[in-house]
Structure 1
Amino acid sequence: MKDKASSRHLPVAEISRYEPDCAFCNVSVENGFDVIWESDRLIAFRDRDPACELHFQIIPRLHIPSVRQLEKSDVEMSRHTIHSSKSKIVISFHADLLDHQSRMGFHIPPFNSVGHLHLHVQALPYKNFARRVKYPAAPGFKSFHKGFSWFTEANQTILILQQGRSVGIFPC
């Protein structure tokens, strides 16, 4: 089993495909998750402590520790995750999601709760102020696509990776 530090700069293809102690490597209805759809590459489930009325997690079946491990070569995988998630969830919950503003993004370590890449898909508004500050969207400036924040929106992540940069807490 690789620790987070040693896998920090490994390409996604070289990171372990399964971590037995990872809660998200064991997502299933049998393990208490409210799975709403799954494919050979992705699993979507309702968040156990939703920040919004509709709040889902989308995870890859492949164990990827966090958004920090993603590189330029992972842009297509990231796009696939984002577009698949959006279309499948809108199809399943179209009436609710189409009436709301939505946010999709990732927490950045060490501010993530589970060491497995997971995309938050949320239909806003947030339930309260405390929930809102947990998912701060920080707009970019000058040559940066994202400002200082422990959360990166999905579109910011794609733009950062396309430029060969890494996603981090500081502007990138």
Structure 2
Amino acid sequence: MSANNGSAVTSGVPPVDAPQECSFCKGGFIITSELYRDEDLVVIDDRRPAGKTHWLVMPLRHIRSVEDLTPGDLPLYRKMLAVRDQLLAVHYPDLTPDTRYDRLRSGFHRGKRDVHIFGPVKFHIPDVISVKHLHLHVIVDVDSSMKSMKYPLWNELVFAKSETVLKRLEDEERALKTTGGGKAETVQSSL
């Protein structure tokens, strides 16, 4: 694992096709502490931590939000979870499956989307993300009730748990294989 714990740096040279709305891709995102970087991912400390530890696991390739992940992104997504788990094992060896639910929040703020809540009726859900670049929040020991409300494990309309996202992507991949490559829209809209 490579790391940079020095002074603030920007996220780097933006890709040619970087969206205007993405401060991370455009190189204007300030990184004060980099815990990990490889050819696909970077892990940084959140500038406004919501707990004892608050990391952001981010792909270097632009993906706008969790809603934009597809089954083709499964290898990258699994790598994001593996890096998260490696860092947790190093920094929190006492975090066991028994204590994990109470101490760990791992997931994503939800992007804009249409959802079916009552049969065929669709509702538009607006963005609840501030950085329009996919980032997995990894929060250990949330420090107050107000901050825990920003990362609610109980409200998946606002915050998608990392395990739920993995299941959705695996279900979509299975549906694609079953249907011979057609789009798995019905599975995705159920998240």
TM over 0.5: yes
Matches within 5 A, 1:6-155: 18-19=18-19, 22-25=22-25, 26=27, 31-91=30-90, 93-94=91-92, 101-109=103-111, 110-124=127-141, 126-138=142-154, 148-155=156-163
One-letter amino acid of the counterpart of residue 22, structure 1: C
Which structure's residues are more often strand, by fraction? 2
In structure 2, relative to structure 1, the CA distance for the partners of 1:132 and 1:19 (3 Å cut) is same
Count of residue pairs the alignment pairs up: 143
Which aligned segments of 4 or more residues in structure 1 are displaced greater than 6 angstroms?
none
Q: For residues 93 and 82 of structure 2, what CA distance do their matches in structure 1 show?
A: 18
Q: For residues 130 and 21 of structure 2, what CA distance do their matches in structure 1 show?
A: 14
Q: Is the 8 A contact 1:97 1:123 kept in 2?
A: no
Q: Is the 8 A contact 1:70 1:166 kept in 2?
A: no
Query: 1:71 Cα deviation (Å)?
Result: 1.4
Say what the alpha-carbon RMSD is for the aligned residues. 2.7
Question: Which runs of 5 or more structure 1 residues have no equivalent in the other structure?
Answer: 1-15, 139-146
So what's the TM-score if we normalise by structure 1? 0.71
Percent of aligned positions that are identical: 25
Query: 1:88 Cα deviation (Å)?
Result: 3.0
Query: 1:130 Cα deviation (Å)?
Result: 1.1
